[in-house]
Structure 1
């Protein structure tokens, strides 16, 4: 099974929950979870910004193989550059399109 977590909220509690879910899925011992991905857009971009409150947790997930994808449209709207993101985060043109693409590939959608 594969899961995509849609990180869209600027609320710190929701961001922490989303990252905790990613960690729980990654650490699942049943062997049924193959891949976990995180797509950030809108206020969720804050969680993947370098120097942010969630940087350590995001870095740990990236180091453990979880791909993080940031919406380029959101970066433009928020006047951010790719260099403002935590190292290792990929940008995609549109976050919603990326989530839809992953769902089409069989990823289960999750949004805390």
Structure 2
């Protein structure tokens, strides 16, 4: 099974909840996960920035093998460079396109 989480919330608690649910999935022994991804865009990009609120959760997910991606359109809008990101976060052409690609590749879509 493969799952992608859409990290787009503007409120800190909503972002934390999404990242916590992704983390919980890495720990769930009742399901065999082939891959877990998080796609951040809009205000959901805050945790993928180095030192951003929630960046520790993102670092932990990366250490567990979760793929974390951020929308390049969001980066441009927020005037972020790749050097502003948590190490290991990948940039993608657009959040919507990446979510579409992953769902076409049989990822289940979750947006808490």
**What is the TM-score of this pair, normalised by structure 2?**
0.96
CA distance in 2, matches of 1:56, 1:98: 23
Aligned pairs, number: 112
What corresponds to 1:6 in structure 2? 6
Moved over 3 A (4+): none
CA distance in 2, matches of 1:76, 1:5: 22
What corresponds to 1:55 in structure 2? 55
Task: Please list every run of 5 or more consecutive structure 1 residues that lacks an aligned counterpart in the other structure.
Answer: none
Question: SS at the partner of 1:52?
Answer: coil
What corresponds to 1:86 in structure 2? 86
CA distance in 2, matches of 1:89, 1:49: 9
Q: Deviation of residue 10 (structure 1)?
A: 2.0
What corresponds to 2:45 in structure 1? 45
What corresponds to 1:28 in structure 2? 28
Q: Deviation of residue 65 (structure 1)?
A: 0.3
Q: Alignment RMSD, CA only?
A: 0.9
CA distance in 1, matches of 2:100, 2:48: 20
Q: Deviation of residue 33 (structure 1)?
A: 2.3
Question: SS at the partner of 2:103?
Answer: helix
Q: Deviations over 1:34-60 (max 9, x none)?
A: 211000000001111111121111101
Q: Deviation of residue 32 (structure 1)?
A: 2.6
Q: Deviation of residue 30 (structure 1)?
A: 1.2
